Structure 1
Amino acid sequence: MSIREAHSGQEGPDFRTFIAIWLGQAVSMVGSRVSRLALGIWLFQRTGAVTDFAMVALCDALPVLLLLPFTGVVADRYDRRRVMLWADSAAALCTLGMAGLLWSGQFQSWHLYLAVVAGASASALQSPAWNAAISQLVPPERLSRAVGLVQVSEGMTDILAPTLAGGLLAVGGMMAALVFDFTTFLIGMGLLLLPRFPAVPRAREAEERPGPVWREAMRGWEYVAARRGLVGLLALASLVTMILCAMEVLVPPMLLAHASPTVMGMVMSVAGVGALCGSVVMSTWGGPRRKMDGVLGAGALMGLALMGAGLGGSVVVMAVAGWVAMFCMPVVWSCSHAVWQLQIPAELQGRAFGLRRMVGEATAVAVFFGAGPLVDRVLEPLLAPGGALAGSAGGVFGVTRSQGVGLLLFMLGLLLLTVMVVVRARPGLYRIEDEVLRDNPTHATGVGG
């Protein structure tokens, strides 16, 4: 059963209910990010080792990557509000345990790694349930606005969390950050307790004979893999994720090669404001009627901005290009998210969104491992004086340090622009919204795959 069918046959909560839950989740997200940042800073201040700081990030990423296929099954089998409450409760108890160890003077570095793994595991349980619940709480025509609001909260978290983490550590140490995190969990859980979610329509045979967890986890993948449009949309999302992660890794070194850390921070802040502005626009506008126009149009503009960033050597050009690229990002995500929700049956959305995030996490890991060596060992030597590209591309990008980053950004922007233009010119993926209801028995019964 599609989302349109699910809403047409039942009375669901109005948009105000979604707003209340979104507000609680936004507050809780800020608290979680603050404590995670504070933990990494706390450890780095004591060891001074970048490897230890990186280990915190690894402990935060790997559980999500490994657990998402199975937590998506949980989100589809059980009431999603309860799943979110389970995840928030587990994370809150973990925070409370860390505070107890810290208060008793027994907190050690290995406790920190364990706590980060536990918190990431709770996030892996909460994320697919929350993403799938959005379509239960709002009608299809308001999905883009709802996703835009979720991205507003993510943008505000990116802006607020670093400042709050540093301030709380300065004022009250690690304990202050943990208390703040626990308080935000209570707020989020309190707002989540108020409403009830509409029931998810399920296939009768699936309720009577649930299969093994591993088999249920595969159903989300099977449903997506059997539909070329969804596979194509997932590939587009992976491409955008790859480029965003590349920007995260490449832009700071490129800026630091020509400017001070203060200037670099200002340029990054400008880009963050662009992302927030794009999220606000999507939360109020909702995007174009045909959501794929939003995906492809904003994606093409993002590609042009990246090409400008690769060519431009000035800080002003980088700031403008960063603002434009990050403004486009919420438009791409919101429109893509809305199409995804309209295409996936309600009873499979937990698994489908788990799959989508898992692919995104795997893409991010690959970029983080590969982007640096590609620039340092391949592109920089090619553009260095006497290098193979010094006389050709070097005339455009220069032969000074960090120009390999500029070349890679330009290539990524050109790739993104080309892909968006090609997809628009071909009817298949662009017309995915015309295929919400298909003539096959799986939609008749509400079972995918």
Structure 2
Amino acid sequence: MSTGPGAHSAPAPKTPDDDTRTTALTRPKGGTFSSLRVRNYRLFATGQVVSNTGTWMQRIAQDWLVLSITGSSAAVGITTALQFLPMLLLGLYGGVIADRYPKRRLLLFTQAAMAVTGLALAALTLSGHVQVWHVYLIAFALGLVTVVDNPVRQAFVAEMVGPDDLRNAVSLNSANFQSARLVGPAVAGVLITAVGSGWAFLLNGLSFAAPIAALLLMRTAELHKAERAPRGKGQLREGLRYVAGRPDLFWPIVLVGFIGTFGFNFPIWLTAFVNDVFHAGAGTYGLLNTLMAAGSLVGALLAARRGTSRLRVLVGAAVAFGLLEITAALSPQFWVFAALLVPIGMVGLTVNVTANSSLQLATDPAMRGRVMSLFMMVFMGGTPLGAPLVGYVTDVYGARTGFLAGGAVSLLAALTVGFVLARVGGLRLKVDLRRGRTHVAFVPRRPVPRENQENTVTVAA
């Protein structure tokens, strides 16, 4: 199998008797919170939980503000699309910047810029001059900053904790984000009802003081030095060739691209369900987001405890994600719909964390920024393509149809990528219903000759 510059062949199975071939990304012993022993990462995590809470407050307030101004789910979709459009158009350039410049210095800039966007939206809203085009413009500006911030923040984790604790730190980052998601929507719902959206935007802008302070307090001598890519032509193409030559990187990115584009449009669906199906208000919208966050937090903590990042976990979680979305779309009562958001959040987070940690650990350090920017580009950057379409379907055919369509696309993508990975890895599905046996498993189609093992992609059975 041809590979791009700097690529390495996937490792061969450890023993000829292995009936599974996995990504073999093993977390060292140390418990669910092992990476918090690292002072720099502990500072980083503390700052992030504060700013993440503010971010979730702004997300809820922003969606509700747009809906209250326009009365349109499609307008909410346009806002979401504009926020993620820069990632689609410029995401790979963010990866080049992440690989080329000091990441801590870049994060100081991006966090300060995000604070400015929150404060600007607060000023417009509290002064009573806000219009929907203001929200569109600020969402787009925030997206431009995110182009650099996301890959830099993802890759900086490795510099703080090193390779041994990387998987645990990635999982705790997600737990951190979802913990904030438990608090942020609830606080936003109270603020919107009591004093209006503007105060949520103000608190979000001020919350970025915490991560900026954490970055300034870090001991730079304790950071793990990472190889930085020198200036040069063709670095974007080099990153694309690297991923294209690695099926264990390429196909997970394809899967999260489909799920991110069509399956993660919750601002559109939840506002539509609250407004059109259940005829409730901002408090109910905050509650539904909180329930999904609770499931996501459980998923993140389970991911932090798992010892391996297997592609079978990624595909299985994606299949469950699609099925649960379809079931929620058809749920007849509010309490059924609300309860299903918990496992949807759990398996959705499992998809994200498993793909993220697998990609980071399987990628050469000098390429990590570009690989993670491609991952974030397809996961978040696909939203500008999917959100307006999903918003249109939701407006025209109803919230249930829009949600069901997103789940169906996610399910189809998971089944297709699972089949392709099984074929590439030389695996077949084995069903054994006898007592005491593994009932469903992937096993090798035939023994792989030793001389060809270096060219096989490792996939999970």
- TM-score of the pair, normalised by structure 1: 0.71
**Who is 2:3 aligned against?**
none
For 2:403 and 2:199, the matched residues in 1 are separated by: 41
| Pairs within 5 Å for 1:270-281 | 270-281=291-302
Equivalent residue for 1:61, pick from 77, 84, 89: 84
- Residues 25 and 372 (structure 1), Cα distance of their counterparts in 2 relative to 1, 3 Å cut: closer
For 1:272 and 1:129, the matched residues in 2 are separated by: 24
- Residues 54 and 412 (structure 1), Cα distance of their counterparts in 2 relative to 1, 3 Å cut: closer
Equivalent residue for 1:363, pick from 360, 382, 385: 382
Residues 295, 342 of structure 2: 8 Å contact kept: yes
**Who is 1:227 aligned against?**
246
**Who is 1:340 aligned against?**
359
Indicate the SS of the match to 2:146.
helix
| Pairs within 5 Å for 1:231-246 | 231-245=250-264
Give a deviation string over 1:213-265, Cα, whole Å, max 9, x none: xx333332222122232111111212332452356645765687764537975
- Residues 219 and 100 (structure 1), Cα distance of their counterparts in 2 relative to 1, 3 Å cut: same
- Structure 1's unaligned 5+ residue stretches are 5-11, 381-400, 432-437, 441-449
Residues 36, 116 of structure 1: 8 Å contact kept: no
For 1:306 and 1:270, the matched residues in 2 are separated by: 15
**Who is 1:184 aligned against?**
207
Residues 76, 268 of structure 2: 8 Å contact kept: no
CA RMSD of aligned residues (A): 4.2
Q: How far 1:345 moved relative to its partner?
A: 1.7
For 2:404 and 2:125, the matched residues in 1 are separated by: 48
**Who is 2:430 aligned against?**
none
| Pairs within 5 Å for 1:283-362 | 283=304, 285=305, 287-309=306-328, 313-315=332-334, 317-362=336-381
**Who is 2:49 aligned against?**
26
Residues 295, 331 of structure 1: 8 Å contact kept: yes
**Who is 1:419 aligned against?**
416
**Who is 1:92 aligned against?**
115
Indicate the SS of the match to 1:289.
coil
For 2:312 and 2:36, the matched residues in 1 are separated by: 29
Matched letter for residue 212 of structure 2: M
Question: Looking at both structures, which has the greater relative contact order when contacts are Cα pairs under 8 Å and sequence separation is at least 6?
Answer: 2
**Who is 1:79 aligned against?**
102
| Pairs within 5 Å for 1:163-202 | 163-168=186-191, 176-177=199-200, 179-195=202-218, 196=220, 197-202=223-228
- Residues 272 and 95 (structure 1), Cα distance of their counterparts in 2 relative to 1, 3 Å cut: closer
Give a deviation string over 1:391-422, Cα, whole Å, max 9, x none: xxxxxxxxxx8775586467446525633652
Equivalent residue for 2:157, pick from 134, 137, 145: 134
Indicate the SS of the match to 2:319.
helix
Q: How far 1:192 moved relative to its partner?
A: 1.0
- Residues 128 and 163 (structure 1), Cα distance of their counterparts in 2 relative to 1, 3 Å cut: same
Q: How far 1:117 moved relative to its partner?
A: 3.6
For 1:95 and 1:33, the matched residues in 2 are separated by: 12
Across the two proteins, how many residue pairs are aligned to each other? 394
Residues 243, 249 of structure 2: 8 Å contact kept: yes
Indicate the SS of the match to 1:366.
helix
Give a deviation string over 1:162-208, Cα, whole Å, max 9, x none: 33335456666676445523432111111111222322124xxx53x
Residues 2, 342 of structure 1: 8 Å contact kept: no
Q: How far 1:295 moved relative to its partner?
A: 1.3
Matched letter for residue 136 of structure 1: E
For 1:317 and 1:254, the matched residues in 2 are separated by: 13
Residues 241, 360 of structure 1: 8 Å contact kept: yes
Give a deviation string over 1:423-443, Cα, whole Å, max 9, x none: 564352989xxxxxx989xxx
For 1:256 and 1:148, the matched residues in 2 are separated by: 34
Residues 34, 177 of structure 1: 8 Å contact kept: yes
- TM-score of the pair, normalised by structure 2: 0.70
- Structure 2's unaligned 5+ residue stretches are 1-5, 9-23, 25-34, 428-441, 443-452, 456-461
Matched letter for residue 200 of structure 1: A
Give a deviation string over 1:262-289, Cα, whole Å, max 9, x none: 7975665433321222123223x1x242
Q: How far 1:28 moved relative to its partner?
A: 1.8
- Residues 163 and 300 (structure 1), Cα distance of their counterparts in 2 relative to 1, 3 Å cut: closer
1:157 and 2:176 matched: no
